[in-house]
Amino acid sequence: MNAPGSPDASDVLGESRDQAEQEEAKFVELCLQFAEPPPPGEPLSPPHRAADALTSGEPPQAVSSAPLIAPPAPEPRIYTRAELDNRAEPGERPQAGDAETPPRSATPMHLAASTFLSLVMVLALLLLARLMVPSLVENIRYGWYRGQLRAEYELSNQRLRSISINSLSDVSQLVSQRVGPSVVHINLLREEESLSQLEKLLLPNMPPNSLLEGQGSGFVIDQQGHILTNYHVIESSGKIEVTLSDGRRVQARVIGVDPTTDLAVLKINASGLMATEWGDSDTVSIGTPVWAVGSPFGLQQTVTFGIISGKHRVDFRETREAQAIPAGNVYGDLMQSDVALNPGNSGGPLVDSLGQVVGVNAAILGDRFQGISFSIPCNVARRVAQQLIEKGEVARGWLGISMGELADSERYDQDGNIQPGVRVEGFPVHEPSPARDAGLQVGDILVHFEDKPIHSSSELMRLIGETEVGTPAVVGFLRNAQLSEVKIILGKREIGLPK
C-alpha cells in the first residue's frame, strides 16, 4: 500500500513515459530537420517508427512513406544527439526550411564563364594549329626527303668501295645515288620588256618577262655553295637560276671564268648541299667504265653510261667535224668517251665506278650525239676551280705569240720521222710580248717547252697555261735549221668576267 498523499506508481510510470515520448519525439524531429534529404523519388531510409512503438509491444509503424522530393544530394545521414549538440549550439540551430548556400564554383554564372573560357582556348589552339601545321608538315616531309638523300649518298659511298664491277647494274644504281644529289640544272634567263609605255605607267611595279636563253648542267664542289660548270653555258649575259636535286631554285652569281679551259665557277646561298668527290684523271685508262650525269634537253638527273675511248685528244684537224669544236673555248687536252651527251649535258660530271669525278663534260663532235664525247680532265678542272674561287681568275702563263701548225712538208725530217713543232706567226702589236722580248722571231719553229715536245699549238697552249705567271721557262726552237734555246719569263694572260 502506498502512504496517503504519495503518488501512485502507475501515475509516476505514466508521467515518465509521457516525458520520454516527448523527448524522443523532439529528438526525431531534430533528426529530420538536420538529416540530408535523399535523391528525388526515393523514400526516407530507414523508415522511422512512431514514438509509441518504443515502449509498447505494438508492431512498428512507419511515420511516413511518402517520398521527399529534394535536389540531388549524397546519401542521407542521421546525426546523433552528441553531433547535433556539437553542430548547433542553442540559438544557432538551423530552422526547418533553411538551405545551405551552394559553393561559388557551382553557380550558373561561374559555370558559364568557365565554359566560355574553355571554348576560347580551344578555338585559339585550333587557329594556331591551322597556321603552324602546314609549314610543320612541309618541314617534316622536306627533312625526311633530305635525310633519305643523305642516307643514300653515304651508303652508296661505302658500297661502291666493296662491290664487284661485275654487278654493273648495282654499280650504275649506286653511282646515280652517289652523284645525283650533287648535280644541278642551270637555266640562263633573259629579262625582256613586254609592256607598252602606257602599261608601264599604269603598272610600274610589274616585273619584265624572263625568257629562257640557255641551259646546262653543273655540280656542287664544296659545302660553301660553289658550283662548277662550263664557261660556254653561262657565257651570254643574263640571270642565272640553279635548280638543285631536291627541287629548290636559287639564284647564282659568277665567281670566275676561264675561257681557255671552258670552265666557270658559280656561287649559291643554300644549305644542306652534298658535294662531289674528286678522282684522278691521270689514273683513268682507256676502257674504264664511266657515267655522265646532267640535264640533256632540260631532262634533269639523266644518267648515261660508256667507257673511256681515248685520252689527250688535242688535234681535231683530221676529223670531219673539226669545225664543231671551237678551239678557243675548249681545253686542248681532252678525254674521249662514248657516253651519250646532248645539248644540256655541258658542265655535268663524268664519274667512275666509285662515284668520283674524273672529268667535266664539255663537247661532242657535230650538233648531235654520234658516240664521241669529250670531257675536261678532273685534275685540270680541280686546279682551275680552286684558282677561280681564291682569286676570281686563273693566273695563266702567256708567251705573247700567235702560232700556226707546220705544213705537211715540214712535219717530217730527212729520215721520215715526225718532227714536233709549231711556227711563230706573229706578235701582238699594241701589247708587250715576253717571247719577243726574249728574242724569238717570226718563222721560228718551237720544238720543246721545258723538255716536253710540242706536237701542236693546242698542246703548247696547255703547257704554257699550266705554268705559273712569272716562271722562267726554257723554250727550244729551230731557226735556219739550227736548234737553239731561250729562257722566257712568262707573262699573264688577261681574262675578264662576262658582262
| Catalytic annotation, residues | 232, 262, 346
For the chain, report the end-to-end CA distance as a whole number of angstroms.
149
Ranges of beta strands (E only) in 385-471 are 397-398, 402-405, 422-426, 445-449, 452-453
CB 200 within 8 A of CB 177: no
Ranges of beta strands (E only) in 119-167 are none
CA-derived radius of gyration, the chain: 51
Contacts of 429 (CB under 8 A, 6+ apart): none
Query: How many CB atoms within 10 Å of residue 441?
Result: 11
Backbone torsions φ then ψ of 310, nearest 5 degrees: -170, 165
Cα-based angle 211, 214, 216 (whole degrees, multiple of 5): 135
Distance CA 334, CA 311 (A): 6
Q: Which grid coordinates are listed for 429?
A: 702589236
Cα distances from 394 to residues 13, 108, 387, 468, in angstroms, run: 135, 84, 6, 10
